[in-house]
Amino acid sequence: MLPAWILPERWWAPLWRGAARLPLLTRQQAIRRTATGIAAALGDVGAAETRDIARNLRAAIYELRFQDLRAWRPGGWLPKLSLEGEGHLMEALKGGKGAVLWVSPTVFNSLPTKIALHAKGYKVSHLSSPTHGYSETKFGVDVLNRVRCIPEDRYLAERIVFNSEAPTTAMRKMMRALKSGEVVSIVAANTEGFEMVEGPIFGGRLPVAVGAPRLAALTGAPLLPTFVARDPALGFRVVIEPPIPLDPKQPADERTVAAASEYLRRSEAWVRRYPEQWRAWSKWRPRA
């Protein structure tokens, strides 16, 4: 906690990028495995560059812990950030059915998104996994993960935690929030309780949790892809894109697959621009 509180934020990324290159702190086998997947997906990137991407991804995950701890300092964490595409959200909310944000599975997608939306006055209910944070053990869920969740909760109207023993509870809470004209956010990689479908990206396939399009189709709320990235010049960018169309005439399964495919199509440009921040590399598979 002490380094996270006292070191200037501009030092964090260089510090952890250096640490990620130390064999004692980073499993090199895991780096090589991730780099191999990146090379296969992107195709036009050399071996040295893919290893750098894999190491920088690991460094970003380490850096995320500094952000969590800085958020406990008096005054909280005040990053440089921007909310882009807010007009799409404002237009969506005019329909009176709320809006579903389908958030990218990137390293920095959590706290900056909540801070940016809260600062603009939006009431956001976020679907969360019980294991959101650092650990899946009972002690981790009860104690350790609160280090991340408590600061995030300052910026939420409600954290909706999925319970596998009562799966409809989370759905009812999200539907209630949307009926009140509020915003519900769901991360595309959140697999808790939601069906997965495979969609095309980078010439291969990637499993995507499709709770967001199913919820949007059920309630009539617009489905807005939301991409989050840390840019060296712009700070943390929270970018809300135009809604993904959901054709009510399509069968539900076909509509869901089409939404996932469109989401991944839009994702490609973001992943190419910020490849070291995408947490889904390990799940990408080449087309059979």
Using DSSP's 3-state secondary structure scheme, residue 149 falls into: helix
Same domain, 103 and 25: no
Beta bridge partners of 235: 231
CA distance linking residue 56 with residue 157, whole number of Å? 33
What is the total count of domains within the chain? 2
pLDDT (tens digit, 9 = 90+) per residue, 18-35?
A: 999 888 777 888 899 999
Quick one: pLDDT band at residue 149, thresholds 50, 70, 90? very high
pLDDT higher than threshold 60 for residue 179: yes
Mean pLDDT of the chain: 92
pLDDT higher than threshold 90 for residue 126: yes
User: In three state form, how does the secondary structure of 210-239 look?
Assistant: CHHHHHHHHHCCCEEEEEEEEECCCEEEEE
CA nearest to 275, candidates 118, 159, 140, 107: 107
Same domain, 177 and 55: no
Quick one: pLDDT band at residue 163, thresholds 50, 70, 90? confident
- How far is C-alpha 199 from the chain's CA centre? 17
* Domain enclosing residue 14, as ranges: 2-70
**What amino acid occupies position 4?**
A
pTM here?
A: 0.93
DSSP for 50-64, please give it: HHHHHHHHHHHHHHH
pLDDT (tens digit, 9 = 90+) per residue, 76-124?
A: 999 999 999 999 999 999 999 999 999 999 999 999 999 999 999 999 9
Q: Judge whether 192 lies within some domain.
A: yes
Tokens representing 100 are 């579903």
Same domain, 150 and 120: yes
CA distance linking residue 12 with residue 94, whole number of Å? 40
Q: Judge whether 75 lies within some domain.
A: no
Same domain, 56 and 97: no
